[in-house]
Amino acid sequence: MIAGAAALMLGCDASQQRAISENNSIFAAFQPPSPVQAAIWMNDPYDADKRYRGTNLLANAPFGGEDVYVKAYRIKLGAPPADGVDDDPGVRGVAARALAMHGEPGDADLILPLLKEPDRRVRLEAVRALQRIHNPKAVEPLMALTSQRTEEDVDVRAEACVALGQYAERRVMNVLIAALNDDSLVVQRSASQSLSTLTGQDLGDDPAAWVRFSDSTQTPFAGRRAFVPPFFARDKYWFEHIPFVPPPPNERPAPPIGMDQPA
């Protein structure tokens, strides 16, 4: 593209050359950094914003699941050879998101400590990551986050209820029924949707109806539905129709990593 523009400019007058140069600048404004630049940013020891941006760019790239990058995401959450987690909460959060996209069930061990972070954004990223990674170790920490007594942030409670929709256990069902009494409508709806996924029943957000159902059956999960975590998808912005500008990082619906779906 650059070489073509240079050749074209050789045959143009000054005003045409300026127009072509300005047009190229517009195109360049929408071009993301190169993979090499993103990797350099991801490992910048002095600039947390660059580490965040580089990690996010690589995680959303088509090659973001290659072993060398997955290892780098893990290192930011304290995996060897690191001697601790990245000191920036935003970087820790985006590393959890990257592992949710490209990791494996064992990566839950690196994500679970983030559920206790004081920064609600980190807790939110961690909970959303655990929606995409299936690991029974996450059940108790997620259940604790559904209660207003242990988690003050509404979004974290709601997303924890969503994540629990992949675990067909009585204790999970009981916690989700209790979450129907939450002061927040969004938490109530998330708990109700997860209960419907786990049981195949559509009883709304009435706790008494769910208690009656639970008490009436020994096999509450017989009608269990497939769990699919929320996924990102949007239409292209106008500039994403320009040639060579990458499309939005839309995702395809998929079950959590490591989860066997019901037949």
pLDDT at 235: 75
Residue 70's SS3 state is helix
Which residue from 225, 177, 175, 235 is spatially nearest to 201, judged by alpha carbons? Answer: 225
What is the CA 84 to chain-centroid distance, rounded? 22
Where do you find CATH 1.25.10.10 in the chain?
33-133
Torsion angle (degrees, nearest 10) of CA 114, 117, 122, 124 = 80
Please give the average per-residue pLDDT across 130-157, as a whole number.
97
pLDDT band at 254 (very low <50, low <70, confident <90, very high): confident
pLDDT at 237: 72
Residue 127's SS3 state is helix
pLDDT band at 34 (very low <50, low <70, confident <90, very high): confident
Residue percentage of the chain with pLDDT more than 90? 71
Q: What is the homologous superfamily of the domain 33-133 according to CATH?
A: Leucine-rich Repeat Variant (1.25.10.10)
pLDDT band at 252 (very low <50, low <70, confident <90, very high): confident
pLDDT at 259: 84
pLDDT at 218: 95
Question: What backbone phi and psi angles, to 5 degrees, belong to 244?
Answer: 80, -5
Whole-number average pLDDT of the chain:
86
Query: Sign (positive/negative) of CA torsion 89, 55, 166, 111?
Result: negative
Top pLDDT among 259 and 213 is at 213
**Tens digit of pLDDT for each residue in 219-250?**
999 999 999 887 556 676 776 566 656 665 66
Alpha carbon separation from 94 to 5, 12, 31, 80, 213 (Å, rounded) = 37, 46, 21, 18, 40
CATH code for 137-227?
1.25.10
Asked whether residue 3 carries a pLDDT value surpassing 50, the answer given is no
Burial of residue 185 (CB within 10 Å: 0-12, 13-18, 19+) is exposed
pTM of this prediction? 0.82
Asked whether residue 133 carries a pLDDT value surpassing 70, the answer given is yes
**Tens digit of pLDDT for each residue in 169-198?**
999 999 999 999 999 999 999 999 999 999
pLDDT band at 21 (very low <50, low <70, confident <90, very high): very low
